[in-house]
Amino acid sequence: MKLLRELASEIYSMFAGDAAMSVFVVIIVCAAAALRYLTPLPSYLIGFGLLAGCLVLLALRVFSYSAKARGR
């Protein structure tokens, strides 16, 4: 039972260690999909938008965690 709990917790932390970041990744991917299918934008521009969105998100999550940690 303990092993199953540990396994479940490991799998959760693999994909949702930072749950907010995971949710925002899904939102960015959905936005890219919407742009791809609903606008005439060239696909490579949407690709670079997807890349830029993920880069900005990562930077925001890192610096917000660091600010919280320094405030403690």
Which residues are near another protein by CB under 8 A? 3, 6-7, 10-11, 14-18, 21-22, 25-26, 29, 32-33, 36, 43-44, 46-47, 50-51, 54-55, 57-59, 61-63, 65-66, 69-70
Judged by beta carbon, residue 33 or residue 40, the one nearer another protein is 33
Q: How far is the CB of 40 from another protein (least distance, A)?
A: 13
SS3 1: coil
* Amino acid at the residue 39: T
Q: How far is the CB of 11 from another protein (least distance, A)?
A: 7
Helix axes 19-38, 2-16, angle to 10 degrees: 50
DSSP string, 38-70: HS---HHHHHHHHHHHHHHHHHHHHHHHHHHHH
Judged by beta carbon, residue 40 or residue 44, the one nearer another protein is 44
